[in-house]
A and B are shown apart, each in its own frame.
Chain A
């Protein structure tokens, strides 16, 4: 039985120090210290302290090397049941969680919106109660409506990870983005990050804004006015409507996916107009720092929000590394929550 550190006020760790890259993490061993994560669920970045985030990122880093080994199987979550419950279609996030769970030795089950009782009109809460009765240890939930994952978490005894709820949060994406940045830049604090595109409908943007602000980075959003939510500046971001100005001097360019159904005349007049003014190409990228990184949560619409030449720039685009790091981050999140004893008092 491992001893866990209790959540107290003074466990706040210092912000990450700049490091040289690449980082060669120590291999995971059974003796490594337990991961301190004083939360029952991971519903969002909001509410996490810099220490919580740093602990998750540090642990994730160790899994990156682990995942490059031929033998990736661990037994940390042996006997634990993990359910991937996706009410919205997803391939990469679901697969990423599934791999993460299996590599830690857990039993992973996938359930999608095609699950018959959901199709038959069962309510979210009834689904939650049904699954809860099967004693899972972790539920990983994606849902098209904001707040749905929190609602579900209030009704179950196990830990819940938000894999994206509506336009609200997608915390594991923000964590993997942060680790990608930290590995390449050595730090988060003081970096200038531009988040570009459909911020209004993006849970990725909201989680990233929260995380980057928490960790001391400076955040800009660059988007046409129709794709920015009301009072977005109150989230602690600088707002730009022009790529040349918005990208000026930034360390990181984070592109967001533009949903195809939002492009034809409802939020922006056309694809070509959007690409002309807000799509990332090498010309617009000139405004950023020469060593600026290009990120995208995927799946990309090449030629809409990002030009192929830029997306595939091996020196600057870290889009594929994001996917690799995603599995490691999800392993750390599953470890943090999957190990939580089941008998702690349910959160309100």
Chain B
């Protein structure tokens, strides 16, 4: 029987609001005991050196490019990157080639996850066949195979009738429908957020209203259907406010955001920096602040990495033609910790958005330090300063606008089911 005792740790559990020094005993991949001065009897000891031990991160939205675009990323390289980022579970979007709209492909993801044996990989399934936005997928069968929710990935479910039926049908099995909230016609051809900077650069703009319009439409459909709805990567003040109101009205609505939307604003585009081209686009400083406030008050439930690997050929193009997206697995934790260090968001609130809340939304047995839970942990030095270096990434792609950014908080060790899947050089042992 493998037993590991993590000692001298600052235990942080957002679910129970625990924040104190202690020890945690892991047996057979699960948490066996939490306390102080736990019995050693033969357990392997991991001295955490006083650093933080929190539930492993649950990254609720990543693009893994496997199957189909393995030159950009594979589940193995993404797994290594996620492990280095303190992520113990990540959930892939279905926009691969082939598209994940058949239950055999959901099972394929599960098998690859087991074979790779790093960060746990789960997947959403397409909400509509072929992501074409017309016919519903076999939601019941797909959920049975392990799909955690239904989404058309990086495209919006634009047709109101299709969205209504997806939400309504999903209620049969109480399944989650996740939207890429952007009115596609209004956003068509847009390269960055509309405003003075886009005008100066001569780039076609996307009005920020494209986001709130789609969310408000969907919220009406949620009222009609009683569906369980999640808005992905919320980026505007108005969208945050719409979701705040919907929650106050008791709708079953959740949302997340991603680091670019609280750590950057539209000025990062600078002189056509394509690494700052993301979807939705980087917004104004006012919007960025509203996202921070949404995270502080819990309107925004979760922070996802929105990991979107793009190779050089996709990014070294004129801005309007360049692909959208940035890699995010290895920078998720330090960028989220900026909310604590610089914006004064309570640490447990930040960690809840990174683990406990996404696990709750996805109904995963994760995101908690509690006896009987899987032993998925991130051990990190909360204060250690370092500089983000894309050349040290485990991901196949380097498309991060955060290269060179000084940051604070570093993953020391990542544990899945009691097993160390990543240890920083110089980590406590």
Interchain CA distance A148-B271 in the complex, whole Å: 11
Q: A-facing mask of B199-240, CB < 8 A → 1, else 0?
A: 111111101000000000000000000000000000000000
Which residue of B199, B204, B316 is within 8 Å of A235 (Cβ)? B199
Q: Report chain B residues within 8 Å CB of A143.
A: 318
Contact check, B320 vs A166: say whether CB atoms are below 8 A apart.
Answer: yes
Q: A235 to chain B: which residues have CB within 8 Å? A: 196, 199-200
Partner of A229, one of B198, B272, B320: B198
Question: Are A230 and B313 closer than 8 Å at their CB atoms?
Answer: no
User: Closest B-chain residue to A148, C-beta based?
Assistant: B318
Cross-chain contact A168 with B202 (CB below 8 angstroms): yes
Check: A104 CB closer than 8 A to any chain B CB. Answer: no
Q: Are A145 and B319 in contact (CB under 8 A)?
A: yes
For A234, the closest partner residue in chain B by CB is B196
Determine whether B194 belongs to the interface, using a CB cutoff of 8 Å to chain A. yes
Do A146 and B199 touch across chains, with their CB atoms under 8 A apart? no
Please tell me if B195 contacts chain A, counting CB pairs below 8 Å: yes
Size of interface on A: residues with Cβ below 8 Å to B: 24
Query: Which residues in A have their C-beta under 8 angstroms from that of B198?
Result: 229-230
- Is the Cβ of B199 less than 8 Å from the Cβ of A147? no
Does B429 touch A at the CB level, under 8 Å?
Answer: no
Instruction: Report B214-272 residues with CB < 8 Å from chain A CB.
Output: 271-272
A292–B205 Cα distance when bound, in Å, is 34
Q: From A149, which residue of chain B is reached at the shortest CB distance?
A: B318
> Could you say which residues of chain A place their CB within 8 Å of the CB of B313?
123
Q: Contacts A147-B271, A150-B271, A150-B272: A232 and B199 contacting too (C-beta < 8 A)?
A: yes
List the A side residues contacting B199 at CB < 8 Å.
229-232, 234-235
Count how many chain B residues have C-beta atoms less than 8 Å from C-beta atoms of the other chain: 21
Which residues of A224-257 have CB atoms within 8 Å of chain B's CB atoms? 229-232, 234-235
A230–B195 touching, CB < 8 Å: yes
The residue of chain A having its C-beta at the shortest distance from the C-beta of B198 within the complex is: A230
Closest to B269 in A: A147
CA distance A150 to B201 in the complex (A): 11
Is the pair A151, B207 in contact by a Cβ cutoff of 8 Å?
no
- Bound CA span A231–B284, Å: 13
Report whether A165 and B202 are in contact in the complex, using a CB–CB cutoff of 8 Å.
yes
List the A residue with the shortest CB-CB distance to B313.
Answer: A123
Residue of A125, A145, A150, A165 with most chain B CB atoms under a 10 A cut-off: A145
Given A206-B202, A230-B196, also A146-B317 (CB < 8 A): no
Q: How far in angstroms is the closest Cβ of chain B from A157?
A: 18
| Shortest distance between the CB of B192 and any CB in chain A (Å) | 10
- B149 vs chain A, min Cβ distance (A): 35
Most buried by B among A146, A147, A203, A229: A147
B420 at interface (Cβ–Cβ under 8 A)? no
Most buried by B among A124, A203, A206, A230: A230
B residues 300-325 in Cβ contact with A at 8 Å: 313, 316-321
Name B316's closest neighbour in chain A (CB-CB).
Answer: A125
Let me know if B194 and A145 touch, CB within 8 A.
no
A151→B196 contact, CB < 8 A: no
Given known pairs A146-B272, A147-B271, A230-B196, the reply for A124 and B202 (CB within 8 Å) is no
A168 contacts which chain B residues (CB < 8 A)? 201-203
Chain B positions within 8 Å of A151 at CB level: 272, 316-319
Tell me whether A147 and B318 are in contact (CB under 8 A): yes
| Residue A169 lies at the interface, judged by CB distance under 8 Å to chain B | yes
* B162-200 vs A, Cβ < 8 Å mask (1 yes, 0 no): 000000000000000000000000000000001110111
Q: Which residues of B contact A145 (CB under 8 A)?
A: 318-321
List of A residues within 8 angstroms of B196 by Cβ: 230-231, 234-235
- Cβ of A192 under 8 Å from chain B: no
Cβ of A203 to closest chain B Cβ, rounded Å: 6
The distance from the CB of B274 to the nearest CB of chain A, in whole angstroms, is 8
Q: Confirm or deny: A318 has a beta carbon within 8 angstroms of a beta carbon on chain B.
A: no
A150-B271, A150-B272 given as contacts; is B200 within 8 A of A206 (CB)? yes
Q: Which 8 A-B pairs have the closest CB atoms?
A: A168-B202, A147-B272, A167-B202, A148-B318, A145-B318, A146-B202, A229-B199, A234-B196
Q: List 13 A-B contacts (CB under 8 A).
A: A123-B316, A124-B318, A125-B316, A145-B321, A146-B201, A146-B272, A146-B318, A168-B201, A230-B194, A230-B195, A230-B198, A230-B207, A234-B199
List residues of A whose CB falls within 8 A of some B CB. Answer: 46, 123-125, 143, 145-148, 150-151, 165-169, 203, 206, 229-232, 234-235
B residues near A (Cβ < 8 Å) are 194-196, 198-205, 207, 271-272, 313, 316-321
Given contacts A46-B200, A145-B321, A230-B198, 20 further A-B contacts (CB under 8 A): A123-B317, A146-B202, A146-B203, A146-B320, A147-B203, A147-B272, A148-B318, A150-B271, A151-B272, A151-B317, A151-B318, A166-B318, A166-B320, A167-B203, A168-B203, A169-B202, A206-B200, A229-B199, A230-B199, A232-B199
